[in-house]
Structures are given as C-alpha cells and as structure tokens.
Amino acid sequence: MEMKAPITITESAAQRVRAMLDKRGKPSAGIRIGVRSKGCSGMQYTLEYADEKSPFDEVVEQGGITVLIDPKAAMFIFGTEMDWVEEKMQSGFVFRNPNEKGRCGCGESFHV
C-alpha cells in the first residue's frame, strides 16, 4: 500500500523551485520546509536550500524536485499543498494547509 505524500507540490511551485535551485550556483539536495514559532498566530512556514539530507527528514520527490520536510514540522503540515502564485502586487509560495485553524490578518502566520 502506497503512503500518501505529506505535502503536494503544484507544477507552478515545482517550476519555481527548479529555477531557484538552478540559480543557486552550487549543488543542493533540494529545499527544506519547516515551521517556526513566529508571528501573531504562532507559527510560520520556512523554506531554505538544503545542502544535504538530514537523517530524519521526510523526503518528497515530485515535479522533478526534492522537498525535505523538517521532522519537527511534519505533523503540522501533513496534507498541505505548496503552490507558487503570481499576482499584480505580489508573488510567492502559498501553503494550503487543511490543519490550519486560523491565520493572522496579514496572512504571514498560522495556528493548528
């Protein structure tokens, strides 16, 4: 039985991550997604280049990219969709998380 990936990545997000990794100028294991305590609602998503895979990272390979999920974040983001959205006034990664119970007014932080 195949397990469901903890996070899904849209094609738009995968294209953006591939472009970021190509421009980085050094080899990468992928990108690492985490959460940290911050903001009005308590938690904020983090994205960083991953130079290597940590032993307890959850690994998701989708759309030609490798996403490493920090083990401390896995329980907070299970079922999340990561997307890249470009609008007139802003562009960025968007996380659609079914576990969120609320977001702050500015949309930068969330709580579960």
Rounded to 5 degrees, φ, ψ at 33 are -105, 135
Query: Residue 100 domain-assigned?
Result: no
Question: What is the value of pTM for the model shown?
Answer: 0.82
- Asked whether the beta carbons of 62 and 8 are under 8 A apart, the reply is yes
Query: Residue 68 domain-assigned?
Result: yes
Query: Residue 112 domain-assigned?
Result: no
- The enclosing domain of 81 has a CATH number of 2.60.300.12
pLDDT tens digit string along 51-62?
A: 999 999 999 999
Query: Residue 56 domain-assigned?
Result: yes
Q: How many domains does the chain have?
A: 1
Query: Residue 108 domain-assigned?
Result: no
Query: Residue 37 domain-assigned?
Result: yes
pLDDT band for 84, please (50, 70, 90 cuts).
very high
Taking the C-alpha atoms of residue 51 and residue 67, their distance in angstroms, rounded to an integer, is: 12
Taking the C-alpha atoms of residue 96 and residue 68, their distance in angstroms, rounded to an integer, is: 18
Query: Residue 58 domain-assigned?
Result: yes
Cα-based angle 75, 66, 50 (whole degrees, multiple of 5)? 80
Query: Residue 99 domain-assigned?
Result: no
Task: Write down the H helix ranges in 5-111.
Answer: 11-24, 74-77
3-state secondary structure of 12: helix
Residue 82 burial (10 A CB sphere; 0-12, 13-18, 19+) = buried
Give pLDDT, residue 51.
95
Domain that residue 37 falls in? 5-94
